[in-house]
């Protein structure tokens, strides 16, 4: 290998997993895609692991029991860590309702020395139910579904996330900018 090849290969991107947790319709995915666009424009390698897509392709067959939700979060965390360890900024807009499941993902990242940030998109359930992007709150209210996170199934909000975003009090762009500022502060953007 020539010296020029070595020097061009020595520049490596620092990857990280940025987990956006919050209630259904909180704005997690919208913020993630807004931030992903900005990071890509800056030249970063970025992947968004959307919870709905993961359920369809990686976790098909899992239900919404506590055990199945934990398995789903563990699978997503594993994939996210692999990508982040290889220089990708991984945005994970996934509810992940249980603190112990999120903590297990954080510990896996720590064990591998991979950067992990937890972001709580702290939108009140009253606002989420009005947004109702997928019609879940209406279906739950009509008795068509049960086990809706934050309504009739638990959601354990992070006690001390790396960032708390009040998406109902700012624009999507402002929310993404706050998250970008955190990444910059941590040397990840």
For residue 22, say whether it is annotated as part of any ligand binding site: yes
Give yes or no for a contact between 183 and 36, defined as CB atoms under 8 angstroms apart.
Answer: no
87 dihedral zone (left: phi>0; alpha: psi -120 to 50; beta): left
* Contacts of residue 44, Cβ cutoff 8 Å, sequence gap at least 6: 13, 89, 189
For residue 135, say whether it is annotated as part of any ligand binding site: no
For residue 51, say whether it is annotated as part of any ligand binding site: no
For residue 29, say whether it is annotated as part of any ligand binding site: yes
For residue 24, say whether it is annotated as part of any ligand binding site: yes
Query: Dihedral of the CA atoms 75, 95, 38, 159 (nearest 10)?
Result: -110
- DSSP label at residue 112: T
For residue 147, say whether it is annotated as part of any ligand binding site: no
Ramachandran angles phi, psi of 68, nearest 5° = -65, -40
- DSSP label at residue 153: B
For residue 97, say whether it is annotated as part of any ligand binding site: no
Is the four-CA dihedral 182, 99, 55, 13 of positive or negative sign?
A: positive
For residue 25, say whether it is annotated as part of any ligand binding site: yes
Token pair, residue 82, equals 């692999």
Q: Which residues are annotated as a binding site?
A: 22-29
Q: Which residues are annotated as a binding site for ATP?
A: 22-29
């Amino acid at each position: 290998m020539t010296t020029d090849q070595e020097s061009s290969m020595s520049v490596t991107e620092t990857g990280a997993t940025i987990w956006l947790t919050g209630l259904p319709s909180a704005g997690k995915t919208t913020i993630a895609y807004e931030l992903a666009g900005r990071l890509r424009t800056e030249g970063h390698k970025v992947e968004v692991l959307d919870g709905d897509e993961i359920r369809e392709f990686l976790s098909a067959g899992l239900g919404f029991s506590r055990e199945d939700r934990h398995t789903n979060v563990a699978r997503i965390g594993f994939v996210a860590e692999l990508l982040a360890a290889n220089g990708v900024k991984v945005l994970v807009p996934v509810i992940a309702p249980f603190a112990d499941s999120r903590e297990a993902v954080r510990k896996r990242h720590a064990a591998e020395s991979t950067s992990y940030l937890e972001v709580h998109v702290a939108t009140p359930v009253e606002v989420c139910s009005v947004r109702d992007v997928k019609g879940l709150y209406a279906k739950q209210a009509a008795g068509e579904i049960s086990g809706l996170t934050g309504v009739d199934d638990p959601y354990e909000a992070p006690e001390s996330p790396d960032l708390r975003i009040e998406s109902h009090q700012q624009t999507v762009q402002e929310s993404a900018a706050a998250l970008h500022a955190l990444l910059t502060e941590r040397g990840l953007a």
